[in-house]
């Protein structure tokens, strides 16, 4: 997540959290799919992306390219097509060579397939720490944001095999987030110029450890749309809650969802389980694979999949802006 380290002095000044209560339970959809996310698959992707081999995945560096190679092969192995000529969308906003990795599962409905949902995460991180900590110099970025990248990859695997999405889904791994949201700024502008019809963006940011709250996750820009309430309706659970720190620190503007909201003015929000109390290694060399909770990540993906499936299949656009 971009420049969150500026907020670290305030970590323990958190307000008492509140949550969204699931309403209209009679209209809730089933809270499960006939599909099981496998912990071993979650662990495999996360462990590689957060490995020392990738040297912290800094945008423009060799480790970023290795991560992109892995994600491109993941798409190929799971029959997720490239949206452009290739999976690699070269950034126009970065002085070096860097690229987003973009895959695509076409919708099954003749009309609704022209509307898109974007599922996204940033796969870049901050690279090598010149000073180091106890001889460790690599910022592995397991939570930030190999965890979100892994979740999007698992969702892409599901939809490419299920083929039950009426709307089309764009799966995007952004580069340049840590450099100033460069990858998402580039792609949002590019898609807008192509008359891309965006329904909503669901961006996944830092979900490697659980919160000790009565909801699974929170979204940024909570009151900007009805996305939180709709997700809870779709899962039949109190999945998404309100985190006061999100509003206080204006997190809506600090991740790749904002680039798309800024251009398209539709619901574009990030979901996270990093709540300023449950993880002390933000932009730190100890943000590594061993610090992640794989069962939590797996259950997170499992619980959110039905909500994303509903987003992709409702006859009308039920998620709307509120302000």
Domain-embedded: residue 93: yes
CATH number at residue 19: 3.40.630.10
pLDDT confidence of residue 132: 85
Dihedral sign from CA coordinates of 301, 305, 308, 312: positive
Q: Is 321 part of a structural domain of the chain?
A: no
DSSP line for 229-264: HHHHHHHTS--EEE-HHHHHTTGGGSSTHHHHHHHH
- Residue 28: the pLDDT is 36
Domain extent, residue 289, equals 4-311
The answer as to whether 320 is a domain residue is no
Stretches where the chain sits below pLDDT 50 are 5-30
In a domain, 102, yes or no: yes
**Would you say residue 317 lies in a domain?**
no
Beta bridge partners of 19: 241
pTM value? 0.92
On whether residue 323 sits in a domain, the answer given is: no
As for how many domains the chain has, the answer is 1
pLDDT at 77: 98
- pLDDT digit string, tens, across residues 176-192: 999 999 999 999 999 99
| CA dist list (Å): 149 to 20, 76, 155, 191, 263 | 26, 16, 10, 21, 23
> Would you say residue 319 lies in a domain?
no
Asked, for residue 13, whether it belongs to a domain, the answer is: yes
């Amino acid at each position: 997540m971009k420049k969150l380290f500026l907020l670290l002095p305030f970590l323990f000044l958190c307000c008492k959290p509140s949550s969204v209560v699931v309403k209209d339970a009679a209209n809730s959809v089933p809270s499960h799919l006939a599909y099981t996310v496998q912990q071993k698959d979650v662990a495999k992707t996360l462990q590689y992306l957060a490995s020392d081999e990738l040297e912290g995945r800094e945008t423009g560096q060799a480790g970023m390219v290795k991560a992109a190679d892995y994600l491109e092969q993941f798409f190929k192995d799971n029959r997720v097509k490239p949206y452009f000529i290739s999976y690699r969308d070269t950034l126009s906003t970065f002085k070096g060579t860097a690229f987003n990795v973009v895959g695509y599962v076409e919708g099954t409905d003749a009309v609704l397939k022209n509307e898109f949902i974007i599922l996204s995460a940033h796969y870049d991180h901050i690279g090598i720490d010149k000073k180091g900590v106890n001889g460790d110099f690599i910022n592995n970025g397991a939570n930030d944001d190999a965890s979100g990248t892994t979740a999007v990859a698992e969702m892409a695997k599901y939809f490419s095999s299920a083929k039950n999405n009426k709307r089309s889904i764009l799966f995007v791994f952004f580069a340049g987030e840590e450099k100033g949201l460069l990858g998402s700024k580039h792609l949002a502008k590019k898609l807008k110029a192509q008359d891309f019809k965006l329904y909503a963006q669901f961006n996944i940011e830092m979900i490697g450890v659980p919160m000790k709250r009565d909801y699974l996750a929170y979204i940024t820009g909570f009151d900007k749309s009805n996305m939180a309430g709709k997700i809870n309706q779709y899962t039949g659970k109190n999945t998404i809650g309100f985190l006061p720190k999100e509003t206080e620190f204006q997190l809506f503007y600090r991740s790749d969802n904002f680039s798309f909201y800024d251009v398209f003015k539709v619901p574009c929000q990030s979901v996270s389980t990093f709540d300023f109390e449950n993880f002390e290694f933000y932009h730190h060399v100890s943000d590594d694979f061993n610090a992640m909770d794989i069962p939590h990540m797996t259950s997170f993906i499992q619980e959110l999949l039905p909500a994303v499936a509903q987003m992709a299949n409702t006859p009308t656009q039920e998620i709307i802006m509120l302000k």
